[in-house]
Chain A
């Protein structure tokens, strides 16, 4: 009997002209938007150099930087106190400081310190610039430091980023997008689909048939779970094809955790529908009471560590908080089960809690 429900649901989805774009085009569109906005090509960062060392080595390093594709040098100054004023005047988006003793340290085979100061109002640029400058300095350092004979000698790049301590880069955003799209699609579509039946009076007709409560609920949820799974694959494929983002860790593990996240969002959709009498209410409730808190309090926008303790407590109730750690961990760091099991367990517990509450609230009766 649940088969009839699923078949019916797909027929309705197929007939709904707005559905295809919402379900399959919007995720890719969001990915493109966010991906490109998060990281426009990091070339042409205007860079000020503050050379406190005035050694042949510091001069050579400056030349390396000039030669790179990433930076447009806007000048060199020799005094720390001028930085703020000169960055303003020359419209530099970053400044690299070469400290006193840089040349001498290199000649002596010691690892020098390069404080790299970035105007962090544009955090993406800052993150990328830090990375590129680090590479240049490291490469230059290897001229003097023997990587084989003197481990672990390296050139440190310290970035002091002002204003925006949360460095957000494209690679960091895209895995988060997986969480966002999954939540939006499954939560909103599920709650709308369930409430629509109430609103149009077809729920009354379903209740009077021999369908069980479970048939009704799972008949509604399974099609959206399937769509969610397709979206997972779609976003993963698009991230790879368009942005070259590979999954550092296990695809299967990520997929399994994604299903666990779906379990949460579908349950939330059902929960929202039990509180809503019509589609408008369901939409409002989804956005105001689920999506906004989830986006704000999950670490998607603001890092959880930077939140005041009182608010941080709330983040523990957000399934997306855990999923973000998982999805970023697996995507970027190649994290495995041993690092992520706690997050997985938290999502499992939350998911069960949400499902139980919504099942208790969902009655196969009219009020």
Chain B
């Protein structure tokens, strides 16, 4: 492998004075599962729309399977499937009719006959729901229908914009199984998500923040690169007090709040016993806490990166 199916270089999108996508460059390997991450408003949807030829760019270039997408958006259409962030099926058509319609637009063979469509619907777990209106399908199931509609023509690249947002964990799992199947068959999948556990499934990820790419690489590689020291999780009622005094400690490289608990990253080589005794000293009367050595999650990585990029941003101003 190693062949790049998508090459994005210096892509810029402005809405008036606001820069939604700011000089973004990256490339996607053929057949890989590529994750595009970032908080709300980071510019993920805007970026994907430009990659699909849905939206004009202000500068830069996108090449997909050798086609200049920004210049010839129509030429890529048969090669890509796109599932937009918003529910975009016809609610007043049945599952089967939606599939027939979208398959028909692509001239897909498999969706021409009812038997073919029912096979596809089976494969995404919609057996018996052929004649249910898409608007009446539960969220998780309708997302699988949308996926089936987006890939009826076997596109080389699938763009999925937050396909699992607001979907229950079981359905999310099934959806990702489908994505994996596709990727194994050689389809390149570019997916955006807010769920960092999902990002762990990806071969490569890029993290966007305020329209810029602030980190990229494989999930494990990123963890190694960004988080050098060990990470500990402090939980229990004393955790919040500790959080307030950690700031002045030079051996704490980074700390961040995760719900009720605090994650701290310390200098390299520090062990659990060592850290615990230091914390007990700091805690004073608030001895009621647990501490545990954890493997850093992508969340640790991203909070770290975003902290850094924001403080850099401030430094510039």
A contact residues vs B (CB 8 Å cutoff): 1, 4, 7-8, 11-12, 15-16, 200-202, 204-212, 365-367
Contacts and interface: CB of A to CB of B under 8 A. Distances in A.
Nearest to A13: B92
Interface string B2-36: 00000000000000000000000000000000000
Interface in B83-141: 84, 86-93, 97, 101-102, 104-107
Contacts of A4: 101, 104-105
28 contacts: A1-B104, A1-B105, A4-B105, A8-B90, A8-B93, A8-B97, A11-B93, A12-B90, A16-B92, A201-B84, A201-B86, A201-B88, A202-B88, A204-B54, A204-B84, A204-B86, A204-B88, A205-B88, A206-B105, A208-B52, A209-B77, A209-B102, A209-B106, A210-B78, A211-B105, A365-B54, A365-B55, A365-B73
A209 B73 CA distance: 10
Contacts of A367: 55
Interface of B: 49, 52-56, 73-74, 77-78, 80, 82, 84, 86-93, 97, 101-102, 104-107
Given A207-B54, A365-B55, A201 B87 contact: yes
A254 B57 CA distance: 49
Contacts of A8: 90, 93, 97, 101
A327 B281 CA distance: 96
B74 A210 contact: yes
B109 to A, nearest CB: 14
A365 B70 CA distance: 11
Nearest to B77: A210
B55 A208 contact: no
Among A4, A15, A209: residue with most chain B CB under 10 A? A209
A212 B73 CA distance: 11
A249 B88 CA distance: 49
A212 B74 CA distance: 8
Contacts of A207: 54
B78 to A, nearest CB: 6
B110 to A, nearest CB: 15
Contacts of A12: 90, 92-93
Nearest to A210: B77
A211 B103 CA distance: 12
A366 B84 CA distance: 13
A366 B54 contact: yes
A16 B106 CA distance: 26
Given A1-B104, A15-B92, A201-B87, 18 more contacts: A4-B105, A11-B93, A12-B90, A15-B93, A16-B92, A201-B86, A201-B88, A202-B90, A204-B49, A205-B89, A208-B54, A208-B80, A208-B84, A209-B77, A210-B78, A365-B56, A365-B73, A366-B55
Contacts of B93: 8, 11-12, 15
A40 to B, nearest CB: 43
B297 to A, nearest CB: 32
A200 B88 contact: yes
Nearest to A212: B74
A201 to B, nearest CB: 4
A210 B105 contact: yes
Contacts of B90: 8, 12, 202
A15 B89 CA distance: 15
A269 to B, nearest CB: 20
B140 to A, nearest CB: 18
Q: List 5 tightest A-B contacts by C-beta distance, closest first.
A: A201-B86, A4-B104, A205-B88, A209-B105, A208-B82
Contacts of B97: 8, 11
B107 to A, nearest CB: 8
Contacts of B84: 201, 204-205, 208
Contact of B89 (A11, A202, A365): A202
A320 to B, nearest CB: 32
Nearest to A1: B105
Nearest to B82: A208
B82 A205 contact: yes
Contacts of B56: 365
A353 B93 CA distance: 35
A135 to B, nearest CB: 56
Contacts of B91: 200
A208 B106 CA distance: 10
Contacts of B82: 205, 208
Among A4, A200, A205: residue with most chain B CB under 10 A? A205
Nearest to B86: A201
A161 to B, nearest CB: 53
Contacts of B88: 200-202, 204-205
Contacts of B107: 1, 210
A11 B104 CA distance: 15
A200 B82 CA distance: 16
A208 B101 contact: no
A11 B101 CA distance: 11
A155 B77 CA distance: 77
Contacts of A210: 74, 77-78, 105-107
A228 to B, nearest CB: 22
A209 to B, nearest CB: 4
A209 B101 CA distance: 11
Contacts of B77: 208-210
Contacts of A206: 105
